[in-house]
Chain A
Amino acid sequence: MTKEEIISAGGSKVAAKPRLLLDVNMHYCPGCSHGVVHKLVAEVIDELGMEDTAIGVAPVGCAVFAYNYIDVDWVEAAHGRAPAVATALSRLNPDATVFTYQGDGDLAAIGTCETIHACNRGENIAIIFINNGIYGMTGGQMAPTTLEGMKTSTTPYGRRVDLNGYPLNITSLVKELDGTCYVTRQAVHTPAAVRKAKAAIKQAFINARDKKGTSFVEIVSTCNSGWKMSPEKANKWMEENMFEKYPLGELKNTVNPK
């Protein structure tokens, strides 16, 4: 059946491009997890009716052009300073829902201080954290979240703990802070995981709107160009290796505990 036949038979559209995602080609590599998360953020903002009140803070990294793709207000922050900029935005605009969208090089490396202190102060913001264990934009260098033994362009023989230290699990660190109200770790590699990630992002936006404290959503992602794999293989590699160090699930929920 064609689309027209299905509609005339009483059927409906069950999936389409979110209304708030602008009709431009994203600059991301084929199969990049950023695209899926952008889609989820756009859908959640639309569903919660926050088109006019949501303010995003774009990071430095692959997602630096996020403001070109999602049709809400954005501020571009200096490298790693998105939570600090978001703090000011949320304090000066109490009616706005402020969120940051950051990668691991931005949030867990240069912005560790801002991240931890924003979470510790319990700022009413939602932090979306894309963790793919690599600096994707600059050419696949080692990030703090790079796994032990993982090959990157600056660790061509694999990350060595004696030389480079251990992978930084910043989400578990943030969980311990009293300012955070919701800390979760998700992925977007399968349809089921995408649904769960969407629910988590939605919860984070609701918490930010209702001024409950800092919500922190980590999305364990792939960087197939940086990892030098096909998108499909990268997803498999992520399941086999990344989930061991970064297990999925809800780490903390003080808003509606189960």
Chain B
Amino acid sequence: MGRIQFDHLTKQFGETVAVEDLTFDIEDSEFLVLVGPSGCGKSTTLRMLAGLETPTSGDLYIADEHMNYRVPQNRDIAMVFQDYALYPHMTIRENIRFGLEEEPGYTEAERDERVEDVAETLGIDDLLDRKPGELSGGQQQRVALGRAIVRDPEVFLMDEPLANLDAKLRTQMRTELQRLQEELDVTTVYVTHNQTEAMTMGDRIAVLNDGRLQQVGEPLELYHAPENQFVAGFIGEPMMNFLHGDRSEEGFVGEYIEYPFDERLERAVGDAADLVLGIRPEAIDVRHAGESASQSLGPHEFRMTVTVTETHGDQNVVTLTHAEDEASHDTIRAVTDGMHIVNAGESVIVTVEPDAVHVFDGETGEALCNRRLETARELTI
């Protein structure tokens, strides 16, 4: 079965460490997304899995077999490349069939049949006799997938396969790919730098940075309970807001705001001195300040000024700055409902509930306290 194990896997290029001490398992038929900024080592990891790079140290197992030195063709894997890598001089049929020709145990007729079956699954059966150059981006993408699927491998490897598609098509292919993977039930490792793809497609996500594994977990686990500041900042769009400051008697003191802790935060933070407050943009409530400036504010309310409002239609992303220092580059972002409009230049009151606050250690970046989640509401029809 297609279980993958990384055991202290390290890859160095000369002096540069591309991947450092990677240890985790990918379960059989799991959809795992490797995500991180460019240069984080995610592609190198995928290439080691594919056999295009040899690990410097550590061990790599696929289906319990040691893979470090095995050549790609003997690994029973299929890979989809970012640029699709279709053979331009072959028809779609020949492209899909190509990988099958090296595979023993098929008769010619069976190979043809298999190609047709796969093409039908992907809805490209009309295109079989065309050349790649005549196809649109989305169609080429499907052919690349077909070429991978036809070999019925233990493991699918995908290197940013949706990066070259436009936004609408990308969303569509995202769901399609996900459904296909469920149907085929093949272990899949998917590399992307796009956190939306990671969140929506993966059974689990592995976040990498600087060649090191930051966290492995289910999408919502990473979103709501990040282990460190990097994960918190990387997952989520718009990004989590970070406020730097110190521990005080009541709670947190930053340059512009004081944020008193409730009991839960108090307990979790302890006496760590250097703190970073993390607040998701959707956890910030923005309301119009009204006429009287002298309105009294609650402990978790702040007066701020709107600098930019981005209307998305279904939501608005509001960039806010501190009322006392409007030129400051130290801004925070809030997300409001699409029908809730505030304009640039307006004075607003911002509320941040203590339940929704994350606290990170300012030195190590480690999460001291993550937000509290309400339990899922019961659904009634």
Task: Decide whether A and B assemble into one complex.
Answer: no
A residues whose Cβ falls under 8 Å from a Cβ of B = none
B residues whose Cβ falls under 8 Å from a Cβ of A = none
